[in-house]
Structure 1
Amino acid sequence: MKNIYKLTFNILLVVILCSTSCKEVEVGYLSENIRYGSNPVVVDKGVFKIVTGIIPDNSTPPFKISILDVRNKQTGVREEAFFKESEITVWKERYDPKTDTTLALIDAKREKQMTLPFQIIEKSGQLMFTQATDNIPTGEYLLDIVVENSKGRKEYKSITTLQVKDPLHFEHINAPYYTLVKPEDGTGVRYPHDVDWFDINNQQSATTRFEITRDAQGPNQIILKVYDKHGKVFPGKALQRRPDGTGFLKTMQTFAYKTTVTEDAVIHDYAQARFPDVYWDSQTNGILCYYRIYDEYIESADYVDVWNPPYEVTYKTDPRPYILQMRFGLKFNLPGTYLVEIHLRATKKPGK
């Protein structure tokens, strides 16, 4: 009998729960709790970005979602820069870094357009930020939207914060370094700490140091220059591809649509930022670049003798003409001309 009572009680409990929680949502319902999953939404100036749409909280679609206002979070005043169009370059067709290998092919797929820095996709509420956000002052802004469906309309004030910040112009994705190879037999020479540490503030590892500057008004180019420890520049032709079995590992030339070798640099023309294109992130070795400088250009190389950064790092010089193998990985987030200067703890042969 006790089991019968227990069974009856459980059935009643299920009925009660279904009558409350399994209630059918009214068609046209608009929740007070519509929201975005991200708060704040971080926006890098000048960088294209799409943010996931609203969380409807059982509100019934189809929706018509629009921007009501964007207000400065501190003052509450409307920020007019969000509502002013500016000219940007847009793609009419999808860019394919594997086939769009000339400027003519690239230009055929893109055009100049006047566009707003910020738009909302009507049916989903996705937030789309264009390169025109470059004209938005940095700071935090409150987003107000309107959501409509078949039965009504509601305003959602301060539904999320838009945090507009200056982007990183470029990023290192690994610790750059060089290693040495004996030219007579191809065996590697490894010294302590050649890959174990990178001082991001000074862009310096045990064997390499970077200096990178950007000209925002220049053409989309990466100008790569490599120097020895005395400031002598290696000729562009010294920067060779690194063999890998029957082929070669990637260099910046892999990612660029045009590469020009000059007396003191290698210049890479690229189609768009981000460069290298995100396509390469999922490929073997990602966007890592590998170069080889042959022994005909190298007089000597330094290695770490005492290693206690940042307090004490001392070097000794190995006076042999090694083959020098470099590796680095860089992402360039905004368009323009970048001068990438790499300084090596090595000495260039005189006259080379």
Structure 2
Amino acid sequence: MLLLLLLANITACKKVEVGYLSENLRYGSNPISVDRGVFKLNTGIIPDNSTPPFKVTLVNVRNKTTGMREESFFKESPITTWKERYNPVTDTTLALINAKRTTENSLPLLVLEKSGQLVFTQATESVPAGEYLLDLEIENSSGKKRYDGITTIKMNNPVTFEHINAPYFILVNPSNGNSVRYPHDVDWFDVTKQQSGSIKFNITRNANGPNQIILKVYDKNGELFPGRALERRPSGNTFLNTMSTFAYKTTVTDTAVIYDYAQARFPDLYWDSQTNGILSYYRIYDQWIENVDYVDSWNPPNSVTYKTDPKPYILQIRFGLKFNLPGTYICEMHLRAKKKAGMQ
């Protein structure tokens, strides 16, 4: 028995040979999940006692179903890269932003030679959604080995934009500034329709357009408010955030408010940790409002019915949107309120 214990102890203490290259090199995640068009840096290979330094080379990326090479991984596309770190607080003009960034051609997947880290660039937008097998060649001082299907890459269609809360408005009596509340005025009842008890959104994206959010506001009958009707919401001696807070340029037109932004995600991650996060607050004053609707019966998603309060109110609006991919977004916000006739 003692002899067996001594032998086991000697075996356990045996050093791995210098130049050892394990058959079991791997990644910590399998599959590795990636959103198309979104930058991602994955951790490197787990060496399983193999001796560094390594030289890791991409051999192939194959469709998991067909086994065929996926050519889109090996075609370059133009992407925007930053030469210096973007600062959403100080980089407030297009000139300052352009001085920090450039456009270059890039492959969707880059493999870092020494660590095997996988860099998925914005060029993955050209890769079809699906699952792919990653084939690598890894070399160290003992030689080289090929690792076919070392992990699976799961390429997902991204969520291009997200609501972080239920969009809504509450009413403010213009004569005294008091809030007027109705049941369910802040309740979310249908995420797929982007609709709450008082606001409905319709958002479309043009991937090839400039980085802009074009916000259009409609009444319940489809009448369009001019951009100037959407004003900042006061808070003491200052104002709460609007999308202007997060954009480097805001343009008010007769039909919309246009927000130019530097990069996706917009608003920048910086704002997540700030007061009120990425929530946007607006007012439409009573001079624009003929009347408003409020929920009468509440049985979502089967039925929701409304009654009309005939008085004009100030609309106090809040919503939280984040946009995960670059491009132009048309954001149409429909309010359960009627625009006053003759107001342009």
TM-score range, shorter chain: over 0.9
Tell me whether 1:347 sits opposite 2:341 in the alignment.
no
Show the counterpart of 1:114. 105
Quick one: which amino acid aligns to residue 299 of structure 1? E
Distance in 2 between the 1:231 and 1:74 partners? 47
Tell me whether 1:78 sits opposite 2:72 in the alignment.
no
Quick one: which amino acid aligns to residue 282 of structure 2? Y
Structure 1's 185 and 18: CA in aligned 2 closer, same or farther, altered over 3 A? farther
Quick one: which amino acid aligns to residue 329 of structure 1? G
Task: Give the 3-state SS of the residue equivalent to 1:108 in structure 2.
Answer: helix
Deviation at 1:154, TM superposition (A): 2.2
Show the counterpart of 1:136. 127
Task: Give the 3-state SS of the residue equivalent to 1:43 in structure 2.
Answer: strand
Quick one: which amino acid aligns to residue 290 of structure 2? E
Show the counterpart of 1:45. 36
User: Identity of paired residues, percent?
Assistant: 70
Deviation at 1:13, TM superposition (A): 10
* 1:102 alignment partner, one of 84, 93, 100: 93
Distance in 2 between the 1:111 and 1:44 partners? 23
Distance in 2 between the 1:12 and 1:212 partners? 74
Deviation at 1:263, TM superposition (A): 1.3
Show the counterpart of 1:32. 23
Show the counterpart of 2:222. 231
Distance in 2 between the 1:218 and 1:111 partners? 17
Show the counterpart of 2:252. 261
Distance in 2 between the 1:261 and 1:322 partners? 23
Alignment check: 8 A CA contact 1:229 1:344 kept: yes
Structure 1's 338 and 24: CA in aligned 2 closer, same or farther, altered over 3 A? same
Deviation at 1:12, TM superposition (A): 10
Distance in 1 between the 2:148 and 2:176 partners? 70
Distance in 2 between the 1:204 and 1:38 partners? 37
Tell me whether 1:276 sits opposite 2:264 in the alignment.
no
* Structure 1 range deviating more: 314-323 or 58-67: 58-67
Distance in 1 between the 2:197 and 2:207 partners? 31
Quick one: which amino acid aligns to residue 164 of structure 1? M
Distance in 2 between the 1:298 and 1:14 partners? 87
Quick one: which amino acid aligns to residue 196 of structure 1? D
Distance in 2 between the 1:250 and 1:209 partners? 21
Segments of 5+ residues of structure 2 without an aligned counterpart are none
* Structure 1 range deviating more: 109-118 or 30-39: 30-39
Distance in 1 between the 2:300 and 2:34 partners? 35
Structure 1's 190 and 23: CA in aligned 2 closer, same or farther, altered over 3 A? farther
Deviations along 1:232-258, whole A, 9 cap, x unmatched? 111211111112233221111011110
Distance in 1 between the 2:113 and 2:216 partners? 48
Alignment check: 8 A CA contact 1:119 1:128 kept: yes
* 2:188 alignment partner, one of 188, 197, 212: 197
Task: Give the 3-state SS of the residue equivalent to 2:272 in structure 1.
Answer: helix
Tell me whether 1:286 sits opposite 2:277 in the alignment.
yes
Tell me whether 1:58 sits opposite 2:49 in the alignment.
yes
Structure 1's 16 and 293: CA in aligned 2 closer, same or farther, altered over 3 A? farther
TM-score (norm 2): 0.93
Q: Please report the RMSD computed on the Cα atoms of aligned residues, expressed in angstroms.
A: 2.0
Task: Give the 3-state SS of the residue equivalent to 2:192 in structure 1.
Answer: coil
Task: Give the 3-state SS of the residue equivalent to 2:85 in structure 1.
Answer: coil
* Structure 1 range deviating more: 31-40 or 220-229: 31-40
Quick one: which amino acid aligns to residue 53 of structure 2? P
Distance in 1 between the 2:12 and 2:137 partners? 28
Alignment check: 8 A CA contact 2:74 2:107 kept: yes
Deviation at 1:350, TM superposition (A): 1.7
Deviation at 1:59, TM superposition (A): 2.4
Segments of 5+ residues of structure 1 without an aligned counterpart are 1-10
* 1:89 alignment partner, one of 57, 62, 80: 80
Deviation at 1:43, TM superposition (A): 2.2
Deviations along 1:189-234, whole A, 9 cap, x unmatched? 2222222323121111111111111222221111101111111111
Show the counterpart of 2:166. 175
Count residues in correspondence.
Answer: 342
Alignment check: 8 A CA contact 2:43 2:117 kept: yes
Deviation at 1:61, TM superposition (A): 2.3
Alignment check: 8 A CA contact 2:189 2:300 kept: no
Deviations along 1:151-184, whole A, 9 cap, x unmatched? 3322211111112232222111211111112223
Task: Give the 3-state SS of the residue equivalent to 1:36 in structure 2.
Answer: coil
Task: Give the 3-state SS of the residue equivalent to 1:317 in structure 2.
Answer: strand
Distance in 2 between the 1:187 and 1:18 partners? 79
Show the counterpart of 1:69. 60
Deviations along 1:274-303, whole A, 9 cap, x unmatched? 211222222222211111111222222111
Deviation at 1:86, TM superposition (A): 2.2
